Structure 1
Amino acid sequence: MRALMWINSGAEIPGGHRVQLQQTSRALRELGVEVDEHDGTHLPDGPWDIVHGFQLGAREVAEAKARGLPVAISTIYVGLAYSTTSGGTRPTPRERVGRLYRGMRYMGASLRGREDLTRLAGQEMDEHLDRVRAWSMADVLLPNAEGEARHIREDLGVLTETRVVPNAIDVDLFAPGLERARDGGTVLCVGRIEPHKNQLGVIRALHGAEGVQLTVIGPPHPHHPDYLEACARAASDNVTLLPGVEHDDLPDLYARHRTHVLASWYETTGLVSLEAAASGCTIVTTDRGHAREYFVDDARYCDPDQPGSIRDAVLAALADTPSPTLLDRIGTDYTWAETARQTLAAYEAVLHRHRGAGDRG
């Protein structure tokens, strides 16, 4: 089988989407699949059996379909409402910020004139409809969680077949290291430095926490250059800010910290949380999104809007011991080999349908 992994937007932004593409490609090759990776706005020529897209729009999906190529899409969908796992109806802080931002954009457009306002409304509607069109044309969608699949159906009305393919980590690189000495108050926060990941909220929540030493590591998001400066201004003596490091250097950093915190406004998984857990850290993660599908009761959950919630969860996690149940689950269910196996099964099902349709034709 020959597959093309295609990402046409966001390729310049470091993060989990890029890791997911690269690691899934590598693991598929180990299963005998010939995989090419492509960054670009147009489908290149090639002898592929299937296109696996990340962030593809309707035009790109239609281009592949016009060549007779079936399309699988890794959705990485965060949900229109940034829903909480509690299912509450109270607007989340992210919703409120989004509404304020949208309101300011519309106010500015209205002051410039009706033409600008009409253009802005059309742009937002086009972006939403483009995603609906792209995912409706695809042959299969590959979300990372059951909750993500549900939101695709409920938010967007897209009824394309979904097959949940778990996100994963390199379990050979990130090993427990439980024998390593870890100071009791050491807390690590790994991730791209941006408002969505809420490092500033973590820094403020742990300000003055006795005995806690927080280390924040990650590359700045290219679209949010001022956020790192805001984090640096808020950092007190118990906070260390470090730039992004090579992926192979992360295991040593995890192994020197007791707890990892990821208080994002939304996470489907949080690859760094899986890496940290596999490396023997106790885990604090957000209650927004679908992380609970992965961590169940083996992590502490926090409300990213409440500094007290973040602080309490971190202090509790510092007193916890690593969960052997979580370690076992990661080693079985959240490996790139398992991700590749389930991805390949999705490919094979799609190709079987296509061959059947061709025979009937």
Structure 2
Amino acid sequence: MTSKRLKVLFWMPYHGRIPGGHQVQLVETSRALSVLGVDTSDSYDPDPPLADFDLVHGFGLTPLDILKCRESGRPVVSSPIYWGRSYTTSGPRSDRTTRVVLRDWVGRSWRGFRYFAASLRGRGPLIRLMLEEASTDLEQIAAYSMADLLLVNAKGEGANIRHELGVVTPTRIVPNAVNTSRFSPYFESVREARSLICVGRLEPHKNQLGLIKALKGVDDVKITIVGPDHPDHPRYRDACRRAAGANVSFLPNVQHEQLAELYAAHRVHALPSWYETTGLVSLEAAAAGCAVVTTDRGHAREYFGSDAWYCDPAHPASIRDAVLQALQHGPSAELARRVATEFSWEETARQTLAGYRYVLERGCPEPRARS
């Protein structure tokens, strides 16, 4: 007798209209799990047929979404992609650098200023601000607490969720990954010596404008900005184009399948975001043979270690120095090999499936029989 195939719904009811790493993670994990014998279905529908599945794997679910799953008797595994309250590297205070502690202080000061400014406008604006922030925090805490398991992309992400939100839901580290058959064959490609690529949605969080300004005057470096315009940030797109010199080009209409050849044409990939749990594009670029410059805010070090260059997105000199060093040293064969062997979607799928089995074996809740 053959065992029943597990049926899993990959559910992202929000932000499906905005392309990015969250969608790549959903699609690639779903695909790799299907190879392992799991019946997967991807949905961006706000009201999918939950009763058709044994388990729901959610991306950005609200407490009401998870309540729907509960009412349908379906356990919920969630991929939180949690950025942290102050956009800083987290961890015990004794492990933090002076710069990280300073960032935390700046973040708290900015929040205090917002409260002070609201109070000057009167009691009503102050109360509204407090309720908005409390509502956002409580909704996130509730959503993470209601899930049966959180699949975090890094150890630091799980620590942030515990320490900052007080959530005690079990976590399992499931690293982000790359399509190794698509990106790895390009390591030996011939690249322009002074070429830089930056892949990501054109939005303030990704800090393309900071990159352009940091390299102002370094006219011999060819800069290619790849990624769609964010529908909510048209002014940012315009600011980037105004700041760009003749050595900067924009490619907004590139499909994910076309990225490998673009990485292969450039020596360095830079992602000076204000925060990244990892940065899927950094992993892809590394596998394809680019030297990697990435943000020092988040958990990229858990993936790249000493094989990448890190920059502070708030300081143009830090971005510039990291890029120039990466251009000088060039790609890391060791990093490309390690990414290709340790960060495949096949391995991600195996770790994800182990998480599903953990939840189902605990029996919380017991899936109801399909009608």
TM-score band by shorter chain is: over 0.9
Q: 1:332 offset after TM fit, Å?
A: 1.9
Tell whether 2:39 aligns with 1:34.
Answer: yes
Question: Could you tell me how far apart the structure 2 residues matched to 1:142 and 1:347 are?
Answer: 10
Q: 1:222 offset after TM fit, Å?
A: 1.3
Question: Could you tell me how far apart the structure 2 residues matched to 1:356 and 1:71 are?
Answer: 9
Contact 1:268–1:290 (CA under 8 A) maintained in structure 2: yes
Distance 1:98 1:66, change over 3 A: farther
**Could you report, residue by residue, the CA deviation over 1:144-202 in whole angstroms, capped at 9, with x for unpaired residues?**
00000000000000011000100011111112423322111001111100000000000
Tell whether 2:345 aligns with 1:333.
Answer: no
Superposition TM-score, scaled by structure 1 size: 0.92
Distance 1:290 1:6, change over 3 A: same
Distance 1:132 1:49, change over 3 A: same
Query: Secondary structure of the equivalent of 2:52?
Result: coil
Contact 1:82–1:94 (CA under 8 A) maintained in structure 2: no
Query: Secondary structure of the equivalent of 2:22?
Result: helix
Pick from 206, 219, 222: which aligns with 1:213?
222
Match of 2:3 in 1: none
Match of 1:259 in 2: 268
Contact 2:201–2:227 (CA under 8 A) maintained in structure 1: yes
Question: Could you tell me how far apart the structure 2 residues matched to 1:7 and 1:271 are?
Answer: 18
Q: 1:98 offset after TM fit, Å?
A: 5.8
Match of 2:93 in 1: none
1:329 maps to a residue whose letter is R
Question: Could you tell me how far apart the structure 1 residues matched to 2:270 and 2:156 are?
Answer: 22
Contact 1:77–1:152 (CA under 8 A) maintained in structure 2: yes
Contact 1:207–1:238 (CA under 8 A) maintained in structure 2: no
Identical residues among aligned pairs (%): 50
| Aligned counterparts, 1:306-321, within 5 A | 306-321=315-330
Tell whether 2:133 aligns with 1:124.
Answer: yes
Question: Could you tell me how far apart the structure 1 residues matched to 2:240 and 2:322 are?
Answer: 21
The runs of 4+ residues in structure 1 deviating greater than 6 Å are 355-358
Q: 1:311 offset after TM fit, Å?
A: 0.7
Match of 2:11 in 1: 6
Q: 1:324 offset after TM fit, Å?
A: 2.4
Structure 2: runs of 5 or more not aligned: 1-5, 91-95
Contact 1:43–1:63 (CA under 8 A) maintained in structure 2: no
2:44 maps to a residue whose letter is D
2:333 maps to a residue whose letter is P
Match of 1:152 in 2: 161
Pick from 141, 157, 161: which aligns with 2:170?
161
Superposition TM-score, scaled by structure 2 size: 0.90
| Aligned counterparts, 1:278-317, within 5 A | 278-317=287-326
Match of 1:24 in 2: 29
Question: Could you tell me how far apart the structure 2 residues matched to 1:105 and 1:55 are?
Answer: 31
Contact 2:212–2:243 (CA under 8 A) maintained in structure 1: yes
Question: How many pairs are equivalent?
Answer: 355
Match of 1:106 in 2: 118
Match of 1:89 in 2: 101
Q: More displaced, 98-107 or 3-12?
A: 98-107
Q: More displaced, 173-182 or 327-336?
A: 173-182
Q: More displaced, 35-44 or 197-206?
A: 35-44
Q: More displaced, 114-123 or 144-153?
A: 114-123
Structure 1: runs of 5 or more not aligned: none
Q: 1:95 offset after TM fit, Å?
A: 3.0
**Could you report, residue by residue, the CA deviation over 1:94-118 in whole angstroms, capped at 9, with x for unpaired residues?**
83796389459836xx63x544543
Query: Secondary structure of the equivalent of 1:173?
Result: helix
**Could you report, residue by residue, the CA deviation over 1:67-112 in whole angstroms, capped at 9, with x for unpaired residues?**
21111000100001111375421026983796389459836xx63x
Pick from 187, 192, 202: which aligns with 2:201?
192
Distance 1:312 1:355, change over 3 A: closer
